[in-house]
Amino acid sequence: MFKSPAKLFQLVITLLACAFLLIPTLQSALAGVTVNYFRGVSSGLTFKWIIEVWALYSGSIFLSIWLALACLMCTLIIGVPAAYALARNPGRLSRMLEEFISLPLAIPGLALALALLQLYGGWREFRMSWTFILVGHVLYTLPFMVRSVMSVLAAIDLKTLEEGAASLGAPPHRRFLDIVVPNALPGILAGALTVVTLSIGEFNLTWMLHTPFLKTLPVGLADSYASMRLEIASAYTLIFFVMIVPLLLAMQWATARAQRIMS
Amino acid sequence: MTLSLTNTAKTYADGTRALKPTKLDIAQGEIVSLLGPSGCGKSTLLRIIAGLETPDEGAKLLFDGEDFTRFPVEKRKVGMVFQSYALFPNMSVRGNIGYGLKMQKLPKTEINRRVDEVITLCQLEPYAARPINALSGGQRQRVALARAFAPRPRLLLLDEPLSALDAALRGQLCDELAQLLRSFGITAIFVTHDQDEAMAIADRVAVMSHGEIAQIGTPEVLYRAPQSEFVARFIGAAMPLGRHIDDNTLHFETGSLNLAGSQAGKKAFIRAEDVRLDDTGPLRAKVISVTFLGTHYRIALAGLAPDPVFALHSALSAPKVGDTVGVAINPAAILMLPSDKKAA
Ligand SMILES: Nc1ncnc2c1ncn2[C@@H]1O[C@H](COP(=O)(O)OP(=O)(O)OP(=O)(O)O)[C@@H](O)[C@H]1O
Ligand SMILES: [Mg+2]
């Protein structure tokens, strides 16, 4: 297997790259359960820090989950019909609309947040409520949902399928529910996981929009890095990992499935 | 008349005149085929009847006297079989066949009973529970037919239902389809660009050319009494014959034939099976190619018309290229048609 030096060299490089990524991660995770980081693991292992993080920041964790789910609902309700409309009426106008929806991808989150603040900042109740952050998240994640659904819809002969359903007596809303949604499901699923993952991890925009009473998971993370002892910050990272890694894995799986359908 | 179309035309948004004002009447239980070369407007006409395209202003579509020109597709009670089948990939074979019945809001037991009935009729029992992508092309074609037929439509429309299949399967399924349509006893319109398919399946064939129906009639009438050069050429590949007509005589380079009565201003056509190689014949022609086709030879002859004329020759041997042969043609087999300059 390792006969040729070229193969061996490749293996070493790969392992080094993995180590480069993994060691700091493991070290950070380990720090979160170490009694005293400066004395090392020999000081003993503990769940103390994790419990402390939970006590301090569980509100942020729940807010993030809640925001992610609300954001998912919004992108589903707006994004799926929008993707359908765009896929069904291809043309210059549709292309322009698609680009327009995708603008938040190109604009830095900070700029987007600034625009929102300028526009709605004076509206106190809205500014102080969680829905303000939600609007930011929806703007930021919507293009991912729309594009994911559109790419699946573009791969099937939607027009003919719908004509088939119509000739069998299906009115427009039934065609949408019975034909469009089920066939777009892999794209919807991939889009949904992307939206949830992005919403939970979003920092840029959220940091600008948050208030002292509304901190999401990543904002809390920054907060703990800035003001807490290293073990707490590390324990926080550990919790973040535990939440985000399964989501990332599920996203990989769903995207692969969607791609299989498109090919 | 069950279905009657008057003044039905279609101009697409980009200005393409796909269908000129057309009149078509179809009787209850009749199977009519729309036959014509690619782009002649067959699909357009079919889709107008289905309600998938809106005809130009002034069209009138009647079904048993009821005007349905402005009905949307889902209210027309027509079954449609698409060229690509358009089966729903998210449903099983049963789900596909039952969808139309579900849309009619029938009770579950009734749906199941009727789906079973259609599945038996179309011999789909072994595949009923399969997903669509686990079927062969021929099986999909039958599912598409079963799905369109299950809700008992008033009219069945088929747009080139066999063209997605390979040639061998097409021949077999063509007979099968003809049989099924007969056993349904349903009024059907069938689009194809294959003459044999149209002849095998239809009671009447409408030959279309450049957005209009050139001639409509039974296969026999179309074959034996075409009314235009286009129909004669398209059905049975008739070829122009002779150099010119002079009252009742058809002149060739090497002889002439007498025709029945004065035929001035017309053109003569002949089919390959009516050109006989016969050394005692009155005409002379030169062999320019010989193709062996198993049951017969197909021989191209020069000297009978400006273009080569083909002859079907059933014998154990054939003349060689370059030979001069005698040709006999029965004047009764010659088709005399008004010459149309713009024929395709
Ligand atoms: N949506 C459309 N917009 C503009 N022109 C169209 C449209 N659909 C069809 N046409 C044109 O109308 C004419 C007739 O098309 P149609 O599809 O009816 O032909 P067809 O007889 O079914 O041909 P084929 O055998 O190739 O399917 C063609 O010239 C075609 O280019
Ligand atoms: Mg067509």
B3-228 and B239-338: same fold? no
Express each pLDDT in A194-224 by its tens digit.
999 899 889 888 888 888 888 888 888 888 8
| Strand-pair partners of A22 | none
Question: With contact defined as beta carbons under 8 Å apart, do A35 and A43 qualify?
Answer: yes
When CB atoms are compared, the residue of A166, A174, A183 closest to B89 is: A183
**Which among B103, B111, B118, B160 is the top mutation candidate for probing chain A, defined by the most A β-carbons within 10 Å of its own β-carbon?**
B103
Asked if B84 lies within 8 A of A166 by C-beta distance, the reply is: no
Residue A219, Cβ density class (10 Å: 0-12 exposed, 13-18 middle, ≥19 buried): buried
Q: Which residue has the tokens 């006969």?
A: A3
Rounded distance between C-alpha atoms, residue A149 and residue A80, angstroms: 7
Q: How far is the CA of B48 from the centre of ligand 1 (A)?
A: 12
pLDDT at res. B324: 87
Q: Which CATH superfamily is B3-228 part of?
A: P-loop containing nucleotide triphosphate hydrolases (3.40.50.300)
**Which among A168, A177, A179, A181 is the top mutation candidate for probing chain B, defined by the most B β-carbons within 10 Å of its own β-carbon?**
A168
> For ligand 2, a single-atom ion, which residues have Cβ within 5 Å?
B 43
Collapsed DSSP state (helix, strand, coil) of residue B83: coil
Rounded distance between C-alpha atoms, residue B154 and residue B158, angstroms: 13
Rounded distance between C-alpha atoms, residue B109 and residue B253, angstroms: 76
Residues of B in contact with A168 (CB under 8 A): 74, 79, 99-100, 103, 147-148, 151
Tokens at B221, concatenated: 């009438």
Strand B78-81 relative to strand B66-67: parallel, antiparallel, unpaired? unpaired
Domain boundaries, chain B: 3-228, 239-338
Rounded distance between C-alpha atoms, residue B219 and residue B234, angstroms: 12
CATH class of this structure's domain A57-262: mainly alpha
pLDDT at res. A249: 87
Question: Measured between alpha carbons, how far is residue A58 from residues A215, A237, B111 in Å?
Answer: 10, 13, 53
Query: What ipTM was estimated for this complex?
Result: 0.82
For residue A217, give the nearest of A33, A63, A55 by alpha carbon.
Answer: A63
pLDDT at res. B191: 94
* Residue at A203: amino acid letter: F
Residues of chain B with pLDDT under 70: 1, 340-344
For residue B324, give the nearest of B263, B265, B279 by alpha carbon.
Answer: B279
Question: Measured between alpha carbons, how far is residue A151 from residues A185, A194, A255, B212 in Å?
Answer: 12, 14, 11, 40
B22 secondary structure, DSSP code = E
pLDDT at res. B341: 57
Rounded distance between C-alpha atoms, residue A206 and residue A109, angstroms: 8
Q: Which residue has the tokens 């790419």?
A: A151
Min CA distance, B274 vs chain A (Å)? 45
pLDDT at res. B343: 43
% residues pLDDT > 70 (chain B): 98
Min CA distance, B196 vs chain A (Å)? 27
Question: With contact defined as beta carbons under 8 Å apart, do B206 and B33 qualify?
Answer: yes
For residue A209, give the nearest of A115, A106, A72 by alpha carbon.
Answer: A115
Torsion of CA A192, A194, A196, A201, to 10 degrees: -170
* Residue at B139: amino acid letter: Q
B298 secondary structure, DSSP code = E
Residue B294, Cβ density class (10 Å: 0-12 exposed, 13-18 middle, ≥19 buried): exposed
Residues of A in contact with B87 (CB under 8 A): 164
- How crowded is residue B25: how many other Cβ atoms within 10 Å of its Cβ? 14
| Distance, first Cα to last Cα, chain B | 32
Residues of chain A with pLDDT under 50: none
Tokens at A232, concatenated: 């707490």
CA A18 to chain centre: 24
Any alpha helices (H) in chain A, and if so which ranges? Answer: 5-32, 48-88, 92-106, 109-120, 124-128, 130-155, 158-167, 172-175, 181-201, 204-209, 217-227, 230-262
Kindly write down the DSSP assignment for every residue of A136-197, as one continuous string. HHHHHHHHHHHHHHHHHHHHS-HHHHHHHHHHTT--HHHHIIIIIHHHHHHHHHHHHHHHHH
Q: How far is the CA of B17 from the centre of ligand 1 (A)?
A: 9
Rounded distance between C-alpha atoms, residue B150 and residue B147, angstroms: 5
* A27 contact partners, CB below 8 Å, separation of at least 6: none
* Residue at B222: amino acid letter: L
Domain boundaries, chain A: 57-262
Tokens at B168, concatenated: 């061998």
For residue A199, give the nearest of A117, A95, A86, A109 by alpha carbon.
Answer: A109
B263 secondary structure, DSSP code = -
Rounded distance between C-alpha atoms, residue B170 and residue B80, angstroms: 19
Which of 3.40.50.300, 2.40.50.140, 3.40.50.11540, 3.40.50.10190 would CATH assign to domain B239-338? 2.40.50.140
Residue B322, Cβ density class (10 Å: 0-12 exposed, 13-18 middle, ≥19 buried): exposed
Asked if B89 lies within 8 A of A174 by C-beta distance, the reply is: no
SS (H, E, C) B205-243: EEEEECCEEEEEECHHHHHHCCCCHHHHHHCCCCEECCC
pLDDT at res. A263: 56
Rounded distance between C-alpha atoms, residue B115 and residue B131, angstroms: 16
Question: With contact defined as beta carbons under 8 Å apart, do B206 and B213 qualify?
Answer: yes
Rounded distance between C-alpha atoms, residue B230 and residue A28, angstroms: 83
Judge if the beta carbon of residue B84 lies within 6 A of ligand 1.
Answer: no
